Amino acid sequence: MYRVRQEDLPLIGSSHNFVGADNGDVKISVFLLNALPGKGPGPHRHPYDEVQFIREGRGLYTVNGKEFEAGAGDILVIKAGEVHAFKCIGEANLVQVDVHLSPVFIQEHVPNRPVSD
């Protein structure tokens, strides 16, 4: 059995970061996100699947160029290689548990590309 408290995890940006390889040597890593209105990560992708459990607030998400809103109670399954980004919308913070199916985070940032006509 292994136990750690959220506040003892590294806080990077808007997330406490649970890295499975460093915490009980488990095969997942988790961003415990608490984003302020207007905040969130830009376009990026991972070489593994990610599951986002939205606990509170609302977000504007873009996955593979498709934009949509999601909120508390929604669960988003983002497949390996899908380019995605999101930001908190509204007045309440966006609280998510983002489970990465990897013992370490691997994230490739993707530059914003203008849409061609």
Nearest residue to 64 via CA among 92, 39, 36, 43? 43
pLDDT, residue 113, reads 58
Tell which phi-psi region holds residue 47, choosing left (phi > 0), alpha (psi between -120 and 50) or beta: alpha
Tens of pLDDT along the chain (117 residues)? Answer: 999 999 999 999 999 999 999 999 999 999 999 999 999 999 999 999 999 999 999 999 999 999 999 999 999 999 999 999 999 999 999 999 999 999 999 999 998 755 444
pLDDT, residue 111, reads 86
DSSP secondary-structure letter at 20? G
pLDDT, residue 117, reads 41
